[in-house]
Amino acid sequence: MHIRRSPRTSPTGVIFPTLASLAALLLAACSPGGGTGSATPAAEAAQAALPRATPSALAPYYEQKLSWRGCGVPGFECATLTAPLDYDRPGAGDVRLAVARKKATGPGERLGSLLVNPGGPGGSAIGYLQQYAGVGYPAEVRARYDMVAVDPRGVARSEPVKCLDGREMDAYTQTDVTPDDQRETDVLVTAYKNFAEGCGARSTRLLRHVSTVEAARDMDVLRAALGDRKLTYVGASYGTFLGATYAGLFPGRVGRLVLDGAMDPSLSSRRMNLDQTAGFETAFRSFARDCVRRPGCPLGTEAGEVGEKLKAFFEKADARPLPTGDVDGRRLTESLATTGVIAAMYDEGAWEQLREALTAAIEDDDGSGLLFLSDSYYERDAGSRYSNLMFANAAVNCVDMPAAFEGPDQVRSALPEFEKASPVFGEGLAWAALNCAYWPVAPTGEARRIEAKGAAPIVVVGTTRDPATPYRWARSLAAQLSSARLLTHQGDGHTAYGRGSACIDSAINAYLLRGTPPTDGKRCS
């Protein structure tokens, strides 16, 4: 399944003004890879650091100079970074990576570059920088740092992975992920196979080389090209996995790292999916308590009945999809409705919009509001064009770890555990975790602890009721990283920085600007 993010809030802590950017934050918590219900045996080992000295074969990449140019957005410059397609065979071809920056505005001494990543995997870091981080980060941070982003290999502007066209994606997103019989199971398996085959046919060269380890190595090449001795970085959701991987590979080059909405790299994909299922249930219960306190909650007047009524609505949409007024004739299927609801769990600021969408769907048979939420999650525009978010998301997840399940029988065996974790979402999220079983290339990674021994202090941020990256993951990552400082946000929503907590923001700002990390265990509301 995917690692998911937030509707209004970016994992790096900038408030998103619209749901159109939801997907960039949505994917990072639910990975498709696999194993058993807990950490795999490989997770008992820690990721090994690379040698301190740069291999001579990589010197041309590390010594390259970036040629900056205007890129259509006032105040921003763009460049192209070259990295080896395969770090084990640097002469076997290159990958070209898109980079953007907004130079420090002053006053005050420039502190270097601040690299940002909104998560995914598959979220465009450049889009995030240009639309949000470059203008929405605290003014004092933007004054002292060049704000920089690179789209990871396979993502957006950096040789994007391609899998399906718009009409094929429309069909894929409407596929029933709660099969009632063998025929529906076969349809779902065929959809996963067609998706995987499309990726294999249209992205043959790149598909084996979009791992998080390779993306982290690309970041070190970028660090050198920018002229920074150490990396300063803010990553959210999946961006925390990317940042932690960098720290594990290059602990001596860690500057100031903020990992907000942290993932736990020691978990198998199945365990990640199960934990995230429970996380969405926690967020949904918060939504339920809020909904019934407001007049006209479309799901009842008691928090305990909200889940049952929502599940009944999903079953109704499964039997008879709702009209939406969509120009392409799409109706609101159970799968699209579920995605729309899950999308709104990322940020409590979207709960009102969700209540209105559910009211229209349940009382007026109008699925347009939930379809809008679902389209925002998938980054689908009115012309039925999709970004490559979901393609890159699957590509990275499926190469990073073994598949969560090898076939439908394993999913069926796991259903009781998933439905216990979330009576509302468990069945669908369990079946969604089957997608990597049919991937055309073998995984190159596995679950491992990351210790990053010798790294400078790293700030790990967790939110207690985060749906996509459960709080327990932040605690686990902080326990693994040898120099971590755990910063806790007691609240709802995905990620914490820039979401309204002055306590969180001041702690992170002090770290970024003065190098003063918060006290380990600091809690904020």
**Which residues are the active-site residues?**
237, 466, 494
- Among 220, 225, 231, which Cα is nearest to 112's? 231
Please report, to the nearest 10 degrees, the dihedral formed by the alpha carbons of residues 198, 199, 204, 210 taken in order. 180
Q: How many Cα atoms sit within 13 Å of 37 on the Cβ side?
A: 9
User: Cβ(157)–Cβ(127) under 8 Å?
Assistant: no
Using alpha carbons only, give the angle 497, 130, 8 rounded to the nearest 5 degrees: 40
Tokens of 142: 């933007």
Q: Which residues are within 8 A (CB) of 69 and not within 5 positions of it... i.e. 6 or more apart?
A: 77, 78, 79
| Spatial contact of 507 and 524, defined as CB atoms under 8 Å apart | yes
From CA 524, how far away is CA 507, in angstroms rounded?
10
**Cα(441)–Cα(474) distance, integer angstroms:** 30
Residue 95 makes CB contacts below 8 A (sequence gap 6+) with 82, 83, 84, 85, 153, 158, 159, 206, 209
- For the beta carbon of residue 319, count every other beta carbon within 10 angstroms: 9
